[in-house]
Amino acid sequence: MNTTLARPQRGKLIAGVCAGLARRFGVSANLVRVLFVVSCLLPGPQVLVYAVLWIVLPKDHTS
């Protein structure tokens, strides 16, 4: 199990943030995506956090 937090090159839809978080915590990428979309219905900075993670997380060149 790869425990580094990085955006994978395979299995990503937009930027790979949800796929990277899912791989890091050992859950389904689709589950993380659904949780993110549902969380966007609530007030808060979810989209801003996603954008920051898109910029901050490195690309995983091993996948």
8 beta partners: 60
Task: Quick: pLDDT tens for 6-59.
Answer: 988 888 888 999 999 999 999 999 999 999 999 999 999 999 999 999 999 999
Domain boundaries, the chain: 7-60
When pLDDT is cut at 50, 70 and 90, the band that residue 1 belongs to is low
DSSP 60: E
Q: Where are the alpha helices (DSSP H) in 1-63?
A: 17-25, 29-39, 46-56
The pLDDT of residue 53 is 94
CB 22 within 8 A of CB 7: no
* Residue-level pLDDT at 63: 53
